[in-house]
Amino acid sequence: MVEQKSGITRAGRWERQQGPEPYRCFYPAPLPPDPPVMLSESLHLALDRATKSLARLDGMARVLPNPGLFLYSYIRKEAVLSSQIEGTQSSLSDLLLYESKQATGVPLSDVKEVSNYVAAMEYGLKRLAEGFPLSSRLIKEVHAVLLRGTRGENKRPGEFRTSQNWIGGTRPGNAVYVPPPPRAAVSAIGALEKFIHGEPVQTPTLIKTGLVHAQFESIHPFLDGNGRVGRLLIPLMLYAEDALAYPLLYLSLYLKQRRTDYYDALTLIRTHGRWEEWLAFYLAGVEEVAREANESSGKLLKIFAADRQKAETLGKGASSALKIHALLEKHCLVSLAFTCDKVGLSLPTAIEAMARLQKLGIVKEISGRRRKQIFVYQAHWKLITQGMGQDRSGEVGSDRPQSV
């Protein structure tokens, strides 16, 4: 659809704002798009592939003996990647070291932002599990957790903005994109909430999540944290609509690797109303990420089973080694102090058990210190950090990007 001279498309309208330096704001039209999304043959096939891939992931998750093992790592990987999109330099190793009360290689403010992302996701899932609806109120509560105690804590955590914001540039007049003014943004969020709840029409879940994410990004209702909240909405919606029994689908790696395509697709919605092109991009991501999550989960189960068998051959030391291995299935990066605390072993026993696991090639000490040593579950770490980038060391910290 070609943008009309008036600045009106099926996605919304552009309005010139008066002032010392005039600029244009975008006012998103309520969902669903009008005219409706056209499911061409290619888009219908993309929806079918994404739906089947997501269903396979859900089916796998529902039969897992302990889905929490996978949730722990996947949520933290997503937290790191989503925060990196916004410029935070914290790596997965930084986050895991922070959680085990060890020093990290980045400023505390960076890793705190990533840790808050995990807390915000877990908070949202808990509220949904308790029966609270996915609503503007819940979105604000999640936002408050996300910004708590971070550099954004002076940006009205948990409250919709009352001033104009923008993306790119130093002011609205030279910005890349200017969302609607505050009152219009609040009104647009109200309309978005109705659409999430099936008004005025019911929409297939995957189409709905794609439309909602893009619409939220266009509204940009907060002064800070909009991108992260928008990405959090995807697994929260899939969980709320029972498309996934466990929130194992995270798109941040897909979006980070294709940032230019991602931003271009969102821009074309606003300028030309091209919802279908965005949905094709989004559904391809769902299919790819769900397939990879399913494959990775299967590989991890095989890794855990094989290494458990190795640990069982240790004779008298097998019991302690198996306790530590059970911990490593969830926490693939641990310190000795953290291990002792979680497993209930004495320090000498933990040191001996770790040495045995290291001899078997299951773990590796990566701090290089004689005290306060840190161990990584090598196969688990390699699989969970796949695609996050590597440096020449190939060790912990290799998931940290060169630039964001």
Read off the CATH number of the domain in which 312 is found: 1.10.10.10
Give residue 104's pLDDT.
67
% of the chain surpassing 70 pLDDT = 94
Band of the pLDDT at 361, cuts 50, 70, 90? Answer: very high
Arithmetic mean of pLDDT over the chain: 90
Of 183-197, 309-323, 345-359, 361-375, which gets the smallest average pLDDT?
A: 361-375
Task: Provide the domain count of the chain.
Answer: 2
Which pTM value belongs to this model? 0.90
Q: Could you tell me the CA-to-CA distances from 388 to 46, 238, 385, 400 in Å, in that order?
A: 26, 24, 6, 7
Query: Among 158, 212, 165, 156, which residue's Cα sits nearest to residue 189?
Result: 212
Domain span at residue 379? 302-384
Same domain, 199 and 306: no
Does 69 map to a domain? yes
pLDDT level of residue 7 (50, 70, 90 thresholds): confident
Domain match, 56 and 199 both:
yes
3-state class of 293 per DSSP? helix
Q: What is the pLDDT of residues 97-120, one digit of tens each?
A: 888 777 666 677 888 899 999 999
Q: Which band of pLDDT confidence, cut at 50, 70 and 90, is reported for residue 6? A: low
Task: Please measure the distance between the N-terminal and C-terminal CA atoms of the chain and give it in whole angstroms.
Answer: 32
Same domain (yes/no): 288, 313: no
Distance CA 248, CA 251 (A): 10
295, 326, 341: which is the final residue of a domain? 295
Query: What interhelical angle do 182-196 and 136-147 show, nearest 10?
Result: 120
- pLDDT of 46 > 70? The answer is yes
Structural domain includes residue 1:
no
253 CA to centre of own chain:
8
Residue 249 has pLDDT above 80, yes or no: yes
Q: Which residue has the higher pLDDT, 340 or 106?
A: 340
Residues 174 and 320 in one domain: no
287 and 158 co-located in one domain: yes
Per-position DSSP letters for 126-171, written without gaps between them = HHHHTT--SSHHHHHHHHHHHHTTSTTTTS-TTS--SS---BSSSS
- Of 240, 260, 295, the last residue of a domain is 295
Band of the pLDDT at 395, cuts 50, 70, 90?
A: very low
Q: 132-175 pLDDT, tens per residue?
A: 999 999 999 999 999 998 888 889 999 999 999 999 999 999 99
Q: Looking at 76-80, 174-178, 365-369, which range is the least confident one?
A: 365-369
Residue 151 and residue 290 in one domain: yes
Indicate whether 403 belongs to any domain: no
246: three-class secondary structure by DSSP: coil
pLDDT at 304: 94
| Res 90: pLDDT | 85
Q: Are 275 and 355 in a shared domain?
A: no
Token pair 């948990």 in the structure block, residue: 158
Question: Would you state the structure tokens that stand for residue 244, as one six-digit string?
Answer: 């996934």
Contacts of 190 (CB under 8 A, 6+ apart): 136
Do 222 and 124 fall into the same domain?
yes
Is residue 62 exposed (0-12), middle (13-18) or buried (19+ Cβ within 10 Å)? exposed
53 with 137, same domain: the answer is yes
